[in-house]
């Protein structure tokens, strides 16, 4: 276990050190202390190592992560796991806005709530939120799955493409071209797997599915009001 105190080591040194690890490194388990809201902690990683961070992190923690497992024992600032490629980022507390923005693969788990724009522009990742998400979540969400065990704020899935949204609680309002869809056996199965991977206990049957009505896919003047 390698321990790093961010009051003693700079973010830059930490990230560079993590980037320079060889593929066969035996430095596979890292424990980071005193993040104190600092930004860009553990960004751009590309090895199957584990990073545990004790405390609250600032913006973009785990940004563009590949392969690594990052655990944040606290809250996360805006853009946590932005553009996630693979691997896992788990937030024990809450996450600020744009959690998982443009995330392409891998798994982001937020055990608490997220604020607005969770999964904005997501491109294939799986995002599972134990609590609620704020407004404009899944805005322009292209691919992937967003699971919300709590409620969703207004304009969920505005301008959504092919991402799948599962929400257990209340949805304040649906965004342009986002509609409720039928939950079939394959969806229940997929959702069960997502919850299982996230380590969150919930009954898939309690969720509703939302997705694109696909009316904005090719412009039609009769749908102009949706813009």
Does 43 help bind another protein (rule: CB under 8 A)?
Answer: yes
Question: Nearest approach, Cβ of 207 to another protein (angstroms)?
Answer: 23
Does position 104 interact with another protein (CB under 8 A)? The reply is yes
Please select the residue that binds another protein; options are 4, 53, 71, 77, rule is CB under 8 A.
77
Q: Which stretch binds another protein (CB under 8 A): 24-32, 40-48, 184-192, 194-202?
A: 40-48
**116 Cβ contact list (under 8 Å, min separation 6):** 97, 98, 133, 134, 135, 136, 137, 153
Nearer to another protein, 43 or 198 (CB): 43
Of 87, 89, 102, 111, the one binding another protein (CB under 8 A) is 102
| 193 binds another protein, rule: CB under 8 A | no
Query: CA separation (Å) from 92 to 71, 74, 143, 160, 199?
Result: 8, 6, 25, 28, 12
Q: Is 46 in the site for another protein (CB under 8 A)?
A: yes
- Smallest Cα–Cα separation from 31: which of 63, 12, 55, 61? 55
* CA atoms of 92 and 141, how far apart (whole Å): 24
* Interaction between residue 121 and another protein (CB under 8 A): yes
Query: Phi, psi at residue 32, to the nearest 5°?
Result: -110, 130
Asked if 151 contacts 114 with a C-beta cutoff of 8 angstroms, the reply is: no
Contacts with another protein by CB under 8 A: the residue count is 59
Site for another protein in 133-152 (CB under 8 A): 134-135, 139-140, 142-143
Return the closest-CA partner of residue 88 out of 134, 42, 143. 42
Q: Rounded to whole angstroms, how far apart are CA atoms 219 and 211?
A: 18
Q: CA-CA distance, 96 to 80, in Å (whole number)? A: 8
Per the structure block, which two tokens stand in for 7?
A: 């009051």
Q: Is 88 in the site for another protein (CB under 8 A)?
A: no
In the region spanning residues 204 to 223, those forming contacts with another protein, defined by CB under 8 A, are 216-219, 221
Binding of another protein at residue 11 (CB under 8 A)? yes
Task: Work out whether 120 is an interface residue with another protein (CB under 8 A).
Answer: yes
Are 77 and 39 a contacting pair, CB within 8 Å? yes
**Token reading at 52:** 């545990």
Taking the least distance from each CB to another protein, the nearer of 60 and 207 is 60
For another protein, the binding residues (CB under 8 A) are 11-12, 15-16, 19, 36-40, 43-44, 46, 55-56, 58-60, 63-64, 66, 75, 77-79, 82-83, 85, 93-94, 96-98, 101-102, 104, 115-117, 120-121, 123-124, 134-135, 139-140, 142-143, 153, 159, 161-162, 216-219, 221, 224
């Amino acid at each position: 276990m390698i321990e790093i105190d961010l009051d003693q080591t700079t973010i830059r040194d930490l990230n560079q050190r993590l980037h320079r690890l060889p593929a066969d490194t035996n430095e596979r388990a890292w424990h980071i202390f005193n993040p104190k809201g600092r930004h860009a902690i553990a960004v751009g990683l590309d090895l199957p190592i584990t990073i545990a961070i004790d405390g609250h992190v600032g913006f973009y923690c785990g940004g563009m992560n590949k392969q690594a497992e990052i655990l944040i024992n606290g809250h996360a600032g805006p853009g946590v796991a932005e553009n996630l490629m693979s691997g896992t980022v788990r937030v024990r507390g809450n996450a600020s806005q744009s959690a998982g923005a443009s995330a392409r693969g891998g798994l982001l788990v937020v055990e608490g709530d997220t604020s607005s724009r969770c999964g904005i522009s997501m491109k294939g990742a799986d995002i599972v939120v134990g609590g609620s998400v704020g407004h404009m979540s899944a805005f322009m969400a292209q691919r992937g799955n967003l699971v919300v065990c709590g409620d969703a704020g207004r304009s969920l899935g505005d301008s959504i493409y092919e991402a799948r949204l599962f929400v257990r609680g209340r949805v304040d309002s649906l965004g342009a071209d986002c509609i409720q869809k039928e939950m079939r056996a394959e969806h229940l199965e997929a959702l069960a797997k997502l919850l299982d991977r996230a380590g969150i206990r919930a009954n898939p049957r309690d969720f509703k599915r939302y997705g694109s009505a696909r009316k904005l896919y090719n412009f039609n003047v009769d749908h102009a009001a949706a813009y």
